[in-house]
Amino acid sequence: MAQRAKKIYLASECDEAAEPAALRSFTQPWLDLNEKVVLVTGGTGSFGKHFVRTVIDQYKPRRLIIFSRDELKQYEMQQIFPMDQHPFMRYFIGDVRDRDRLEMAMRDVDYVIHAAALKQVPTAEYNPFECIRTNVFGAENVVSAALRRNVRKVIALSTDKAANPVNLYGASKLAADKIFVAANNLAGADGTRFSVVRYGNVFGSRGSVVPFFQKLAQGGAGELPITDPRMTRFWITLTQGVNFVLSSMEMSRGGEIFVPKIPSTTITGLASLIGPALGQKVVGIRPGEKLHETMIPADDAHWTVELDDRFVILASFAAAAREAYLNRGAKAVSEGFAYSSDTNPEKLNAQGLQLLLKEAFA
């Protein structure tokens, strides 16, 4: 089911004469979840709730399982998606640190979306053992449970911070990415397929700078805190993120890291849009924070191919997968290629940012 592409302005920042280009929907190829059993770890988060809404709107699954450790968030989610209206919904209390509970929850499951993680950089720095137990050991547990239950496909959500990591959160997610890629070696030719999606900042998600800026602007603040005026970031909406996960899962052969083609902008441009009348105060980069985001380091260029709407970092052992992608129209990127927010050719001007904000909070 293809969605009509919306128009958004992509150009050098502040170029108001930019020609409109399509805001990618990432709906193709389409994954059929009708009569399938789907499990989402960390399903009460921003991604999980949007994923559930998408599945309810577009599919008729046999079961849709929310796996998370917070009973209050599950209760609140049940008020939004009550089981009497959506009888295929299931709510499992559990932690990805608990392999046995994961294995129980994955009984007869076809697809797993692994979204559970400790994601706050300062929290991970202060609580390193907890970060490792959830993000690394949790990834291992998801792999083990999926293999034991013969799940068809697993796709894990990663982060730009896993590329050349400078903080523990990024390092733990890099380790998790490696675990999911290498898990295909354990599955055999006909076993579970494991892949990863990696994208940047999500407009409106919990912990995003967008609602933080909005709260300050609406609360009467006189200025917005800017870490560094040179700072750039990639941006994606929750709708795009969910569609990207679904289409990547359909496309996956095992061992890929999928990276969407999405626009970037400076943090000052974002602040000016949200609070045009507010001043901007430079507060400095926080520990563990990068000036620019990188989603594909130059060291990975050798294994990366490019499609119309995404890049695919292939596993070094996946020679057959590389040929398959090239046969479907992918092309190898140039030597030394890197995908970074400061050199990204697709930058949002003010009109593009406004449209993206409208899309994110529609």
Q: Which one of 73, 119, 153, 161 is the catalytic residue? A: 161
User: Of 114, 85, 249, whose CA–CA distance to 77 is shortest?
Assistant: 85
Give me 236's structure tokens: 């994606």
Using CA atoms, how far apart are residues 258 and 314, in angstroms rounded to an integer? 9
Count of H-run helices and E-run strands, the chain: 12, 19
Give me 163's structure tokens: 């590329």
Using CA atoms, how far apart are residues 297 and 338, in angstroms rounded to an integer? 5
Q: Which single residue is written with the structure tokens 């720095």?
A: 125
Q: Which single residue is written with the structure tokens 């990207």?
A: 244
Residue type, 333: V
161 is a catalytic site residue: yes
Using CA atoms, how far apart are residues 358 and 50, in angstroms rounded to an integer? 16
Using CA atoms, how far apart are residues 355 and 352, in angstroms rounded to an integer? 5
Q: Which single residue is written with the structure tokens 């750039």?
A: 232
Using CA atoms, how far apart are residues 139 and 24, in angstroms rounded to an integer? 29
Q: How far is CA 202 from CA 187, 254, 360, in A?
A: 32, 25, 9
Catalytic residues, which ones?
161
